[in-house]
A and B are shown apart, each in its own frame.
Chain A
Amino acid sequence: MDKLINLLYAAVLAGTPLLFGTLGEILTEKSGNLNLGVEGMMFMGGVAGLAGAFYYEKFVTAPSGALAVLIAVICAFFSGAFGALIYSFLTVTMRANQNVTGLALTIFGAGFGNFFGEVMANTTASGYAGVGNKIKDAFLGISIPGLSSIPFFGKLLFNYNILVYLGVIIAAAMAYLLNKTRAGLNLRAVGENPATADAAGINVTLFKYIATCVGGGICGIGGMYVVMVTCSGIWVHNCINGMGWIAVALVIFATWNPSRALLGSLVFGGLSILRLYLPLGIPMQIYGTLPYAATVVVLVATSIRQSREHRIPQSCGYNYFREER
C-alpha cells in the first residue's frame, strides 16, 4: 500500500510539468494555433524562472521563499508567453506556416534556455547556475497542518509543492472558461471556424494572440517546474528533454479537454518513474522509453477511433486571412 501511495505521489510530481505543457497547448490549439514549440517555450520558461529566483536571491540579503516562488512563476510565465508571442506574430500577423514556425520556436527556445543557463553559470564561482537551499526548499512540498497528516489521503492529496495545486487550479479554470462562459464559447468558435467567428464580430486576431500567449505562459511555468523542482533549482543542459513534445501528444490523449489532461499527465508521469517502483527485469534504458512508446500507442488508438465531438479544433494548423479570396 505504501508503495502504491509512493508511486502515485511520485507520478503526480513527475506529471505536473506535463500537465502545464498540456494545458497551455490545449488553450493554444483551441484558438486554432497548432504551436509545436511547447518544448521551446518550456525551455524559455525554465531558464527565466530560474533566473528570476537566482537574481532575486543574489540581490536580496534575506530572500523569502514564497516570494521567490512567485517571482519564478511570473518570470517563467512571461518568458513562455514571449516565445508564444513570436509564434503568434509570425503565424497570425505574418501568416507563416504553423508547423515550421513551431519547430523554429523549439530550436530557438532550446538554444535560448541552454544559452542563458550557461551565461548564468559563467557568472558563478562554482560554474553552475543554481539557487540556495532556502529557495530550493520553497519548491518542495508544503504540508498543511492537520490535513497532511491524514493517513493515506494526507500524503496523496495535501503534501505537494504549491505548483501542483496551481496546475490543478488552472485546469479547473480552463474547463470552466471553455464550457460555461461567453469568452470560452468565442474562443472555441475562433479555433473551429475563424471565418464564422469573424463574421459574428469576434476579434479573431486578438483571441488568437491572447490564447496563444497565455497558453505559452502556462507551458513556461511547466518548464520552470522542471528546473526548480525536478532538477532542484539548478540549470541542467537540455533539461526539458522531450517533455514538451509529450505534452503535445497528451493534448490528443486528453481530447482537448482540460479535465482529462489531469488524468493524462498523471498516467504519463507515472510511466516515466515506474521503473523506480516496479522493476520488471527490463533494461533500464528500454524502460525509460515507456512514456514515448505509450504516446505512440495513444496516437494510434485515437487515430483509429475517430470521433466527431472530441477532435482537434477544425481550423487548427491553418491560418486565417479575412481578405483571402
Chain B
Amino acid sequence: MVKQTETAVLLSNVVKRFGRVVANDKVSLEVRRGEILALLGENGSGKTTLMNMLSGIYYPDEGQIFVNGQEVRIGSPKDAFSLGIGMIHQHFKLVDVLTAAENIILGLPGKAKINRAALAGEIREISQKYGFRVDPNKKIYNMSVSEKQTVEIIKVLYRGADILILDEPTAVLTPQETDRLFDVLRKMKADNKAIIIITHKMHEVLSVSDRVAILRKGQVVGTVETKDANRQNLTEMMVGHAVSLKINRPQPAENGQEALKIEGLTCLNSDGIKALDNVSFTLRSGEIMGVAGIAGSGQKELCEAITGLCPVQQGAICLSRPEGENLNIVGLTPTEIIRSGISMAFVPEDRLGMGLVASMDIVDNTMLKSYKIGKGPFLDRKTPRALAKDIVGSLEIVTPGLNAPVRLLSGGNVQKVLLGREIASKPMVLIAAYPVRGLDINSSYRIYDLLNEQKKKGVAVLYIGEDLDVLLELCDWIIVLCGGRVSGILDASQATKEEIGLKMTHIDALKEADL
C-alpha cells in the first residue's frame, strides 16, 4: 500500500492575515493520495481561507506550500489548476445564464471557436466514469442545488484535477443527496485522488473521512485518524473546551393558546412561480415550531407572508391579539399589522440586507422599526440609544461603540443586535430564519438559549433551520416543506433525521402517515 502514504500536498507554517485579523497562523498540514481528509472547524476558524490559498484565491503572507514534493507558488486559480488542484466552493462558482458545458470550459485554453459537440462527448465520458447525471446544455438557473454541485465537480475533474477540495459540500443537500455525493467521493478516492472536505458536521466527518485535521482560531490543533475519533473528542478539540452538545429543550407550555393559525396559504414568489401551496399549520404560545426543507422550498415566502411582506394568493393567516379577537392579516401591510395591535418579531435570513441597515450604527438600527413613534417630523434618538445600550450590555455585544456602523461587527454580534432588537419589542410571535447561519458554536448556543427563554416566556416561536440535528433537539414540532407544500408535521421528540430527509424530497411517501 505504498500509494496510501504518497503525499499530494504539504503546507508548512502558512500564515494569512486580513488587516488586523490573523486568519491562518502557522498552519502545517499534509494531504495524501487515495484518502479523504476532513478539515473540521467552526465558522471563522480559517478552514476556507486555508483552502483558498491552495486554490489560488488568496496568497499566503508567510510559509511554504509543496505539491507532489516540490515547493510551489500558487498565485492564481490558474496556477492551482495546472498543479491539479480543484476547489468546489460552498457558494457555487457558476454563471447562471450559461449552460453546464459552458461553465465547465470556462477559462480553459483551446481553439478560439468552441466545438460544442465534442465538448458534450467529453462531459458524458466523465459522467459515466463516476456515475453523474447531467445535461450539458441545461442552463444553470434551471438546475437544482445538487445538479449545480455536480456541474462544479465535473468542472474540476474536466480540468484534470487530482486534488479536490470541497467546501461544506453537504450544507445544502438532503441526507439522501449527501449519501450519493459520498459515494462519488469514495469512487474518486479509489481512483487515487486526494480529497479534502471542509465541514463542521461531525457525523459526516465520521462517516466519510480517513483522517481529520481540526482547526481552531486559525491554527491546526490536531490531526487524528478517523477510526480513533468520536463526536465528543472532536468537538472538544474544535471548540477548545468541553461543551455540552445537548441543546436543552424546556417542556412546551401546556394548553398554550393558538398564537398563529395558517390555513390553505398559497403565495407566488418574485418570479411569479407558486412558492407556497396550500400550507396549513397552527403555532401555539410557548412552543418552538421548526421548519425544515431544502433551501428554496418556500421558507422565505412563508416568513414574509406572515409578516405582510409577501402578497398572499389564497388562504388565511390568523394571529392572536392581546386584546380583541384573532385577526386575519392577509392583505394588510406591515404597518397596518403593527397598528392592529399584533406584536410579531421577525429575524430575517438576510441580516444586513433586510433586518439591519449595514452602514448605520446600532442606535439607528435599534429604531428601525420604531422610528415613527412620537409626534412631530423629527427623530427621537434618546429612547433608542438607551435601548441600544441595554441590548449591547445584556447580550454582551462586542462593538467599538454605539455609533459604529453594524457592518463592522462580526457575524455573531450582528445577529445579537438584530435578535436583541426583535426580542425587545416583546413579541407574541417570533419568527427566526436561519438565526445561527454563519455563527460560531458559542454564539449559536447563545442564540438557542435566547430562543428557549422566549419560549418559556410564552412566546410562540417559528424557527427556520437547516441543520436537522439542531431542529430535532431545539424544536417541539417540525414542519417539513417540500416544493412549497407541507409534506409532514412531526413531533420532534420522536422523529428521525432520515424521516425528515425523506419528506424534504418526497411529498407522496407520507400520505398515509400524517395527512
Contact = CB atoms under 8 A, between A and B. Distances in A.
Direct contact of A and B (CB under 8 A): yes
B57 interface: yes
Interface stretch (B75-83, B369-377, B464-472): B75-83
On chain B, which size bracket covers the interface? 20 to 34
Contacts of A180: 113-114
B108 A309 contact: no
Contact of A188 (B58, B81, B89, B95): B95
B97 A186 contact: no
Interface in A8-27: none
Nearest to A322: B57
User: Which of A181, A195, A322 has most B Cβ within 10 Å?
Assistant: A322
Nearest to B49: A325
Given A180-B114, A182-B108, A198-B57, A309 B97 contact: yes
Contact of B106 (A189, A195, A314, A322): A189
Interface string A173-217: 000000011110110110011011111111100000000000000
Contacts of A183: 112
A181 B106 contact: no
Given A308-B141, A322-B57, A181 B76 contact: no
B93 interface: yes
B168 to A, nearest CB: 16
B77 A201 contact: yes
B98 A192 contact: yes
A323 interface: yes
A183 B103 CA distance: 13
A202 B107 contact: yes
A201 B108 CA distance: 8
B98 A188 contact: yes
Contact of A192 (B87, B96, B110, B114): B96
B42 interface: no
A185 B94 contact: no
On chain A, which size bracket covers the interface? 20 to 34
B76 to A, nearest CB: 7
Given A181-B112, A198-B77, A199-B77, A186 B106 contact: yes
B105 interface: yes
B55 interface: yes
Interface in B248-276: 271
B107 A197 contact: yes
A203 B78 CA distance: 9
Interface in B430-474: none
Contact of A199 (B18, B87, B96, B98): B87
A322 B18 CA distance: 13
Given A186-B106, A186-B107, A199-B55, A181 B97 contact: no
B102 interface: yes
A200 B114 contact: no
A255 to B, nearest CB: 12
Interface of A: 180-183, 185-186, 188-189, 192-193, 195-203, 308-309, 314, 322-323, 325
17 contacts: A181-B113, A181-B114, A182-B113, A186-B107, A189-B106, A192-B98, A193-B96, A195-B93, A196-B95, A197-B95, A199-B77, A199-B93, A201-B76, A201-B107, A308-B141, A308-B271, A314-B96
Given A193-B94, A195-B93, A199-B93, 4 more contacts: A181-B113, A186-B106, A188-B97, A201-B78
Interface of B: 18, 55, 57-58, 76-78, 81, 87, 89, 93-98, 102-103, 105-108, 110-114, 141, 155, 271
